[in-house]
């Protein structure tokens, strides 16, 4: 019975880690070949399953290519004059924020016609929503993101962690049983040392829980989503500097700009253009709302709305992105007993994830 419960606990942890890996899947378009004119991308795409929340990475040298999302009609005609979104700097990280077919082309003359176009069929993640429907016990990990080496690495790490924890608890219990037998045989002479070892056992069990918690927290940190302006969204009224000052932005985080398509846009610009509210030299442009933008590099990122008068009225935000090196998954867990790091406490999603993680860890501790 005990080891059955331990199996359930392990499966729950594994499920959480797999969801985490699934949520963070990154697809490098064209693999090592990258985003260029030579290959056909249909066979590459056919081998992948794209889930809402996944990220596409288009590897190209700025100026040599671009990435423009277009309608199906424009995709077939290689027409980039009605872009849904445009990214001109490489590498381009694009978060897949809705289901259905997404069409991307390069608009450098001749490139799309030569095959530099890709259709991405995005499916829902509902069947895999975190902690609601864990995979069947004993079943293999679902194959949906097996094409992503990052996800595979994460899954292997998760399996190793779960195996190590299971092994550790199993061994502890075995030792405990042995000590119990010994104790009965020798009567109460070794009572003191027994209770010390017992304490030691629960101390170790605490460490195990902290490790699992650390993994879950790293997972949550990696998935932090910042809704620009909170419930007010992306509009002309507020000043975004106080909102941004309350957040810490880490490489890999996602910005969500909530706005109605046509009312506003999101254009990344240089510091100079930000100060001047000039949108004529965009680094990237997104015209459909809501816009999800992955922060792929450190430093200041400047976003403005280019609808006349909006930027001047305050619809502009500076995002200071810091490195995640100090928080790389599974390499440097926070100190045991310390509070969860406060860096993404401003994100309600991350907070929710952390609470779920704490509940899960508490439940597991109870099992053991
Ligand atoms: Cu606007």
Q: Which of 105-114, 162-171, 176-185 has the highest mean pLDDT?
A: 105-114
Find the mean pLDDT for residues 192-200: 56
- Taking the centre of ligand 1 as the mean of its atom positions, its distance from the CA of residue 246, in whole angstroms, is 23
- Taking the centre of ligand 1 as the mean of its atom positions, its distance from the CA of residue 230, in whole angstroms, is 16
- Model confidence pLDDT, tens digit, residues 249-296: 998 889 999 999 999 999 999 999 999 999 999 999 999 999 999 999
Nearest to 302 by CA among 272, 261, 322, 280: 272
Q: Does the pLDDT of residue 55 top 70, yes or no?
A: yes
SS3 86: strand
Indicate the pLDDT class of residue 38, thresholds 50, 70 and 90: confident
pLDDT value, residue 154: 46
**CA dist 209 to 13, 71, 129, 185, 213, Å?**
11, 48, 23, 33, 6
pLDDT value, residue 217: 53
**CA dist 84 to 66, 173, 222, Å?**
13, 59, 27
Mode of pairing for the β-strands spanning 67-70 and 26-28: unpaired
- Taking the centre of ligand 1 as the mean of its atom positions, its distance from the CA of residue 256, in whole angstroms, is 15
Find the mean pLDDT for residues 31-53: 77
Q: Does the pLDDT of residue 36 top 60, yes or no?
A: yes
* The two three-digit tokens of residue 343, written as one number: 């860096």
**CA dist 172 to 179, 196, 214, 277, 291, Å?**
10, 14, 22, 64, 50
- Taking the centre of ligand 1 as the mean of its atom positions, its distance from the CA of residue 294, in whole angstroms, is 20
- Taking the centre of ligand 1 as the mean of its atom positions, its distance from the CA of residue 83, in whole angstroms, is 18
DSSP state of 139: P
Find the mean pLDDT for residues 23-35: 75
Find the mean pLDDT for residues 210-232: 68
| Fold of the domain spanning 26-128 | Immunoglobulin-like (2.60.40)
Answer CATH for 225-326 from 3.40.50.720, 2.60.40.420, 1.10.260.40, 3.40.50.880: 2.60.40.420
- Taking the centre of ligand 1 as the mean of its atom positions, its distance from the CA of residue 104, in whole angstroms, is 25
Beta bridge partners of 227: 256
Helices (H), the chain: 2-23, 41-46, 72-77, 149-185, 191-222, 240-245, 271-276, 348-367
Find the mean pLDDT for residues 292-316: 94
Contacts of 310 (CB under 8 A, 6+ apart): 236, 264, 304
- Taking the centre of ligand 1 as the mean of its atom positions, its distance from the CA of residue 204, in whole angstroms, is 55
- Taking the centre of ligand 1 as the mean of its atom positions, its distance from the CA of residue 107, in whole angstroms, is 26
Find the mean pLDDT for residues 82-91: 84
* The two three-digit tokens of residue 277, written as one number: 């509210």
Find the mean pLDDT for residues 169-181: 73
Among 115-124, 267-276, 303-312, 334-343, whose mean pLDDT is lowest? Answer: 334-343
pLDDT value, residue 151: 39
- Taking the centre of ligand 1 as the mean of its atom positions, its distance from the CA of residue 306, in whole angstroms, is 6
Among 44-48, 94-98, 164-168, whose mean pLDDT is lowest? Answer: 164-168
- Taking the centre of ligand 1 as the mean of its atom positions, its distance from the CA of residue 304, in whole angstroms, is 8
Establish whether the linkage from the previous residue to 91 is cis, with ω within 30° of 0: yes
Mean pLDDT of the residues in the chain: 71
- Taking the centre of ligand 1 as the mean of its atom positions, its distance from the CA of residue 91, in whole angstroms, is 26
**CA dist 257 to 12, 82, 122, 305, 311, Å?**
34, 21, 21, 11, 14
Beta bridge partners of 266: 286
Q: Does the pLDDT of residue 143 top 50, yes or no?
A: no
Q: How far is CA 242 from the centre of its chain?
A: 25
CA distance 224 to 222: 6
Question: Percent of the chain scored above 70 by pLDDT?
Answer: 58
Q: Does the pLDDT of residue 166 top 90, yes or no?
A: no
Indicate the pLDDT class of residue 346, thresholds 50, 70 and 90: very low
Indicate the pLDDT class of residue 234, thresholds 50, 70 and 90: very high
pLDDT value, residue 160: 44
- Taking the centre of ligand 1 as the mean of its atom positions, its distance from the CA of residue 224, in whole angstroms, is 25
- Taking the centre of ligand 1 as the mean of its atom positions, its distance from the CA of residue 86, in whole angstroms, is 17
Mode of pairing for the β-strands spanning 266-269 and 299-304: antiparallel
Greater pLDDT, 36 or 68 = 68
CA distance 91 to 78: 21
Q: Does the pLDDT of residue 218 top 70, yes or no?
A: no
* The two three-digit tokens of residue 228, written as one number: 């620009």
Nearest to 226 by CA among 290, 306, 135, 166: 290
31's enclosing H/E stretch is none
Delimit the domains of the chain by residue range.
1-24+148-220+348-368, 26-128, 225-326
* Cβ atoms of 13 and 20 closer than 8 Å: no
* Cβ atoms of 263 and 234 closer than 8 Å: no
26-128 shares its CATH topology with 225-326: yes
pLDDT value, residue 350: 41
Indicate the pLDDT class of residue 329, thresholds 50, 70 and 90: very low
């Amino acid at each position: 019975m005990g080891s059955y419960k331990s199996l359930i606990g392990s499966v729950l942890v594994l499920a959480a880690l797999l969801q985490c890996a699934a949520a963070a899947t990154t697809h490098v378009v064209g693999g090592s070949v990258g985003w260029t004119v030579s290959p056909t991308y249909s066979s590459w795409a056919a081998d992948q399953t794209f889930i809402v929340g996944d990220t596409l990475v288009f590897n190209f040298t700025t100026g040599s290519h671009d990435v423009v999302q277009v309608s199906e009609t424009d995709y077939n005609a290689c027409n980039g004059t009605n872009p849904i979104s445009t990214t001109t700097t490489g590498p381009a990280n694009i978060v897949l924020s809705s289901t259905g077919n997404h069409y991307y082309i390069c608009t450098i003359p001749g490139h799309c016609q030569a095959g530099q176009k890709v259709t991405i069929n995005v499916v829902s993640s509902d069947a895999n929503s975190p902690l609601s429907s864990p995979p069947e016990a004993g079943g293999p990990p679902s194959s949906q993101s097996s094409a992503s080496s990052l996800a595979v690495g994460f899954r292997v790490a998760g399996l190793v962690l779960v195996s190590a924890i299971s092994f550790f608890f199993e061994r502890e219990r075995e030792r405990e049983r042995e000590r119990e037998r010994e104790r009965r045989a020798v009567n109460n002479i070794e009572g003191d040392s027994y209770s010390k070892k017992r304490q030691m056992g629960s101390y170790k069990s605490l460490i195990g829980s902290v490790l699992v918690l650390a993994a879950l927290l790293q997972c949550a940190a990696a998935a932090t989503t910042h809704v620009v302006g909170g419930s007010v969204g992306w509009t002309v009224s507020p000043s975004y500097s106080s909102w941004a000052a309350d957040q810490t932005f880490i490489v890999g985080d996602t910005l969500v700009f909530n706005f109605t398509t046509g009312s506003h846009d999101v254009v990344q610009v240089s510091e100079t253009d930000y100060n001047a509210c000039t949108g004529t030299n965009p680094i990237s442009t997104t015209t459909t709302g809501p816009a999800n933008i992955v922060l792929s590099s450190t430093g200041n990122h400047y976003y403005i709305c280019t609808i006349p008068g909006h930027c001047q009225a305050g619809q502009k935000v500076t995002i200071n992105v810091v490195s995640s090196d100090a928080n790389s998954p599974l390499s440097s867990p926070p100190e045991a007993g310390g509070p969860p790091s406060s860096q993404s406490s401003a994100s309600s999603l991350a907070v929710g994830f952390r609470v779920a993680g704490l509940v899960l860890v508490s439940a597991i501790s109870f099992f053991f």
